[in-house]
Amino acid sequence: MKTAENVTIIPPKVQQTEARDKYHQLRVAAYCRVSTEQEEQQNSYEVQIAYYTDLINRKKEWTLAGIFADKGISGTQTKSRCEFNRMIRMCKNKKIDLVITKSISRFARNTVDCLEHIRQLKELGIGVIFEKEHINTLNITSEFTVALYGSFAQAESESISKNVIWGKEKAYREGRVSFQYKRLLGYRKGDDGKPEIVPEQAETVRLIYKLFLDGQSMRNIKYSLESKGVLTATSSKTWNESLIRSILKNEKYVGDVLMQKTFTADCITHRVVKNNGERAMYLVTDHHEPIIDRDTYNRVQQELARRSSKRKISDKAKTEQGKYSSKYALTELMICGHCGSPYRRVIWTCRNKNKMAVWRCMSRLDHGKTYCSDSPSISEDKLHKAIIHAINNYYSCRNDIVRILKANIGTVLECQGQEEIMAAEQRLKEIDRKRNELVDLIASGGCDEEQMYSQFEKMYDEEQKLNERLTQLKAENQTSAETQQKLDRIMQMIETEKFELEIFDNVLIRKLIECVKVISKNQITVIFKGGYEVNADIE
């Protein structure tokens, strides 16, 4: 091809890498990876290192720049592969000329990551040789092939992930449970492979449940545990509210195991998300020895739900979500008898500049007398005295309750199982009557004896079973002398025990009282758990 007279062609320079290939040894690095830490994979890992060390050292034109090997690491993400990333950094620092690896799937199982790193290395003049696929990335036509093989490797990872998910769900359905003991307070792995209670840690769990049911907030429980020097499952002295909440919600403490509470949403990014119903969950009940009894656990779940469902009690609040108050029990219990709004504690400053705590209707606080014109403001001291008086009155009525209880114990014991006993006795009489009828029929010669004997056997079997059941029921229905003595001691203790509350106690108030209704400035109604009501005067 002819050129213009004023144009001079300057031939291309020989690439630096080509000159290096001609006169110097190539600095070659090998990359190896195994995805699990199982014994057979470990053997493969050692074999790969030995193979590439020998391969590189046997070639005169190559010199070993390093063996980079990750073990027990997934190939779907490069950020978790320390050795791989170290190799890339060395490549960028011009300390490696060529990388050799077994296959594209060993290099990366993520198509995007695979192509991104190959392009970076290619820009640096560094090639990657994939032995299995016979590909050198410095070849200009190889990127499509690499992308194709990379897609196959990624698809293989996705297929493996689906198989793993299927295997896990099969194990879940069969009730096979795996425990993570490292962060599980209260349990360790026993000699038989099953969860075993750690006594000291179990006491901490019970304390957390008790404090929560006593009305303490998550923050107060945290401070209480830290002040006592109680350790977490990881032996830390620092607690946080989310950890305490997770202990209160963990079904393992009641002996159950709920599986698949989370799942891996993407096998490439390994993003773990909470299971909100997208996949099935599997509950194994009574799997191991519980630390918390089921009744206590259920009450804690109800209280958690109640606190989290609180809504704002003041129109001035910025959010709809209310906040649980552990400091004052009456914040949760006290309502206006006229409009039904909650009462709130406020501080008044008197003329003599002394401060006084009073309780006021929220509707009155927010809207004045517009919606509630009759609700009174009540001094906290007078309110506490009235509630203490109501509690003492409630306990003074126990004598009547005891008398009713004692009168009914005998009746309850006598009635226990009576219906089944009467039915069994009636059926035995019917069997005896039918047997006599069959005997008369056989004597008269009006039936097949062989058929009649078969009926005799059936009646005999039923009679034996009924007699055994009847004996068992009568034994269960009898109160032993020892049991009766225990009942008598309990009744005597209830009758003689004196109870009189002198100081207002927030924990006790929460346990005893369901609601305090303000009727007027001189009277409140205290409603105890169970529905029993006591009127108390405010003096």
The mean per-residue pLDDT over the stretch 423-447 comes to: 75
Task: Classify domain 187-305 by CATH architecture.
Answer: Alpha-Beta Complex (3.90)
The mean per-residue pLDDT over the stretch 449-456 comes to: 69
Contact indicator for 221, 212 with CB cutoff of 8 Å: yes
Q: Per-residue confidence at 22, pLDDT binned at 50, 70, 90?
A: low
What is the model's pLDDT at position 227?
A: 92
User: What one-character DSSP code corresponds to residue 15?
Assistant: P
Q: How far apart are the first and last CA of the chain?
A: 117
By CB atoms closer than 10 A (0-12, 13-18, 19+), residue 19 is exposed
What is the model's pLDDT at position 89?
A: 92
d(CA 154, CA 325): 52
Query: Mean pLDDT lowest for which of 7-21, 62-76, 207-221, 364-378?
Result: 7-21
Nearest to 343 by CA among 355, 357, 356, 354: 357
The mean per-residue pLDDT over the stretch 433-459 comes to: 70
What is the model's pLDDT at position 171?
A: 63
Percent of the chain with pLDDT over 90: 13
Choose between 250 and 279: higher pLDDT. 250
Q: Are strands 523-528 and 533-537 parallel, antiparallel or unpaired?
A: antiparallel
d(CA 73, CA 80): 7
The mean per-residue pLDDT over the stretch 246-250 comes to: 90
What is the model's pLDDT at position 418?
A: 63
Choose between 185 and 72: higher pLDDT. 185
By CB atoms closer than 10 A (0-12, 13-18, 19+), residue 244 is buried
Query: Three-state SS across 185-249?
Result: CCEEECCCCCEEECHHHHHHHHHHHHHHHCCCCHHHHHHHHHHCCCCCCCCCCCCCHHHHHHHHH
- Strand residues in 334-411 grouped as ranges (E): 334-336, 343-349, 355-361, 378-379
What is the model's pLDDT at position 266?
A: 54
Q: In this structure, what token pair is assigned to residue 328?
A: 């004052």
Q: Long-range contacts of range 293-299, CB-CB < 8 Å, 24 or more positions apart? A: 293/254, 294/254, 296/209, 296/213, 297/209, 297/251, 297/253, 297/254, 299/213
Choose between 149 and 245: higher pLDDT. 245
Element (H, E) at 92: helix 82-92
Q: Where in the chain are the domains? A: 16-164, 187-305, 330-387
What is the model's pLDDT at position 239?
A: 93
What is the model's pLDDT at position 19?
A: 44
Contact indicator for 154, 268 with CB cutoff of 8 Å: yes
What is the model's pLDDT at position 96?
A: 92
Please state, in angstroms and as integers, the Cα–Cα distance from residue 201 to each residue in 184, 224, 225, 241, following that order.
10, 16, 12, 18
CA atoms within 13 A on the CB side of 280: 10
What is the model's pLDDT at position 208?
A: 93
Query: Mean pLDDT lowest for which of 331-340, 499-508, 511-520?
Result: 499-508
Which amino acid, residue 134?
H
Average pLDDT, the chain: 76
Please state, in angstroms and as integers, the Cα–Cα distance from residue 39 to each residue in 2, 51, 436, following that order.
69, 18, 77
Contact indicator for 130, 103 with CB cutoff of 8 Å: yes
Residue 265 has pLDDT above 80, yes or no: no
Percent of the chain with pLDDT over 70: 67
Choose between 259 and 482: higher pLDDT. 259
Residue 402 has pLDDT above 70, yes or no: no
Query: Mean pLDDT lowest for which of 381-395, 396-410, 427-441?
Result: 396-410
Q: What distance separates the 2 farthest-apart alpha carbons in the chain?
A: 143
Choose between 425 and 15: higher pLDDT. 425
- Find the radius of gyration of the CA atoms of the chain: 40
List all residues 6 or more positions away from 35 whose beta carbon is below 8 Å from its beta carbon: 41, 72, 73, 74, 75
Query: Mean pLDDT lowest for which of 21-30, 73-82, 526-535?
Result: 73-82
What is the model's pLDDT at position 486?
A: 58
Query: Mean pLDDT lowest for which of 147-156, 302-311, 409-418?
Result: 409-418
Q: Which of 76-80, 276-280, 382-386, 402-406 has the highest mean pLDDT?
A: 382-386
Contact indicator for 156, 162 with CB cutoff of 8 Å: no
What is the model's pLDDT at position 487?
A: 59
Task: Classify domain 16-164 by CATH architecture.
Answer: 3-Layer(aba) Sandwich (3.40)
Contact indicator for 462, 431 with CB cutoff of 8 Å: yes
Common-topology check for domains 16-164 and 187-305 = no
What is the model's pLDDT at position 413?
A: 47
- Residues 394, 399, 404, 405, CA torsion sign: positive
